[in-house]
Amino acid sequence: MAVELNVLALSLLFLLASNAKAQPNNGVFDVMNFGAKAGGKTDISQALMAAWREACALVSPSKVVIPEGEYVLSQVTLAGPCKAPVEVQVRGNLKAPADPSKFNNVPSWVTFQRIDHFTLSGAGTFDGQGGYAAWAQNDCKQSKKCNKLPINIRFNFVTNGLVRDITSVDSKQFHINLLGCKNLTFANITINAPDQSPNTDGIHIGRSSGIDITDSRISTGDDCISLGGGSQNITISRVTCGPGHGISVGSLGKYKDEPVFGINVVNCALINTSNGVRVKTWPASLEGIASDMHFEDIVMVNVSNPVLIDQEYCPSNKCNLKAPSRVKISNVSFKNIRGTSATQVAVKLACSSGIPCENVEIGDINLSYIGTKGPATSQCSNVKPTIAGRQTPLACGLIV
């Protein structure tokens, strides 16, 4: 009988030990417990993926923690589906391999994929270790030969999520890329790269819906936020952008069946950017729709092209400008936009000659040109906007 009791007691001890390992600290999985070491010399990718696997398999909410410190992290994909909500909390400074060849031409560094109810948090940093040696390989506008350099953070088919308080610096390509995501909020995000770093878009959204970006600061060498084909029901608020190329819808028309609608950009500031708020489509494009886009309460400081619809977008000057864009733009408003323009044409609405813009509203524009060529002006083609409130410059040359 005593022997049976001892066997039972040992079995219970093993069971408790097993449960403790599977569910340490109430579902918190610290990568240090999986072999990670701080100091910036040891790759923690295997430790991170091991912690992720256990967290993802847990049937109750869990958290993966990367504590304060400096860490080397090679290419990783943290994929679901998971059995319960999962959070990854990054407190430390993660450094990508500096050599682009270490990524084997696979264009991503950290990927979160097919996860429902996911949170990425913490005051940590994703350092892509870009630099001009890497960016020189990524300037496709100047050379036909360009490598597919890695994006710092990819979100593929992530739903019902929150990304907050993180920082991304010096990505080799885009900083953050969304594909097929739904109901995802970005709050208090910081993005930094030099103004001469090519293709380093801050946040790029494609084929995603229900995305909110708020209370964030983005400084980069391309669009601060770019909304590609299939972007639907997107809200951008209290974002400060600069340097960079502005907040852009597009470029659209390269692919078909990717309608864009429900875009709201409100209460944002653009500082020393090469564009302000703009919608851009390719000439000679495929058919498309871009509708219900609203830009309101925007401050411009020394911004070139503060208000812009450009349906002849052709950065490489290798387009067929004789064939008009076939993207239909409608139900667009620019309201309460104020500040200074670095170019004389402060408002430019260059719509398609084949499919003119419809239902465009301009209200309460107050933009002054800071150069010496004269007062600020506006240009409009293939559009008859509705005009309301104060207009400086006079909208489309009209007296209101």
Active site residues: 245
Cis ω before 251 (30° cut-off from 0): yes
Q: How many CA atoms lie within 13 A of 353 on its CB side?
A: 7
Which H/E stretch holds residue 188?
none
116, 84 Cβ separation under 8 angstroms: no
Alpha-carbon separation of residue 47 from 65, 115, 128, 148 (angstroms): 11, 20, 20, 27
Which residues make Cβ contacts (< 8 Å) with residue 15, sequence separation at least 6? none
Which H/E stretch holds residue 22?
helix 2-22
| Nearest-5° Cα angle at 351, 348 to 355 | 170
Which residues make Cβ contacts (< 8 Å) with residue 66, sequence separation at least 6? 31, 36, 44, 48, 88, 89, 90, 91, 92, 94, 122, 124
Query: Reduced to 3 states, what is the DSSP secondary structure of residue 121?
Result: strand
C-alpha to C-alpha distance for 81 and 158, rounded to whole angstroms: 10
Q: How many residues does the chain have?
A: 400
Q: What is the DSSP letter of 285?
A: P
Q: Return the number of other C-beta atoms located less than 10 Å from residue 196's C-beta.
A: 10
Rg, Å, the chain Cα set: 24
C-alpha to C-alpha distance for 47 and 247, rounded to whole angstroms: 37
C-alpha to C-alpha distance for 302 and 137, rounded to whole angstroms: 30
Alpha-carbon separation of residue 25 from 21, 117, 122, 246, 295 (angstroms): 9, 21, 19, 44, 46
C-alpha to C-alpha distance for 197 and 218, rounded to whole angstroms: 13
C-alpha to C-alpha distance for 281 and 250, rounded to whole angstroms: 6
DSSP string, 294-333: EEEEEEEEEESSSEEEETT--TTS-S-TTSPP-EEEEEEE
